[in-house]
Amino acid sequence: MHAKKSLNLLAWWTLEKTTRPRTHASLRAVAAGMICQEFDRQVTTKTCRRLGKKVSDKIQNLLVTLSSADEANYLLSNAKQLRQSQNEFVRQKIFINADQTPAEAKAAYELRCARRSRCANRIQDLLASRSRAGFEQVSDQRAQWTLGFTECWKKRIKASIRSTQ
């Protein structure tokens, strides 16, 4: 990541039009407050601004520039904590990612696609071995890990279906 980009985070969340901050200062305050509340960590935000043009029903990314790369790295490495938040809005609507160039973003996307494909292949192999040998006979450690992974994804899918209803 470039030195300047190492201070940046991309975050997005939806806010009601009536509660959406209108100024850069209020965006900074909202971002810093969310970080403090969810990560129990004080950070210094240098700037904060929405990216792109306003389009109805489209979430604009929020570019947050922090005062140090250490703060940005901490938030990026702990961003998954947001999925465990006590606040339902934060759990479902707020995401934090690194500020990447288009080439870096494309490479990261391709890695995620490859990882998901490998995972899907493992699950298919496991299900095929289940049908051949029966569920009780599947004792391989790798297969057990994949079973746990499958259950985790089933829970996530059920949760996302519930949240859209």
Distance (Å, whole) CA 100 – CA 23: 25
* Mean pLDDT split into 10-residue runs, the chain, 165 residues: 66 55 74 88 87 78 88 91 89 86 88 89 80 53 57 63 59
Tell me how far the alpha carbon of residue 7 is from its chain's centroid.
18
pLDDT of residue 24: 66
**Whether 66 contacts 44, CB under 8 Å:** yes
Report the DSSP pairing between strands 8-12 and 62-66: antiparallel
Give how far Cα 12 sits from Cα of 1, 107, 120, Å: 20, 21, 28
> Exposed, middle or buried, 119 (CB in 10 Å: 0-12/13-18/19+)?
middle
Domains along the sequence of the chain with CATH: 5-99 (3.30.70.330), 105-164 (no CATH)
Entry pTM = 0.62
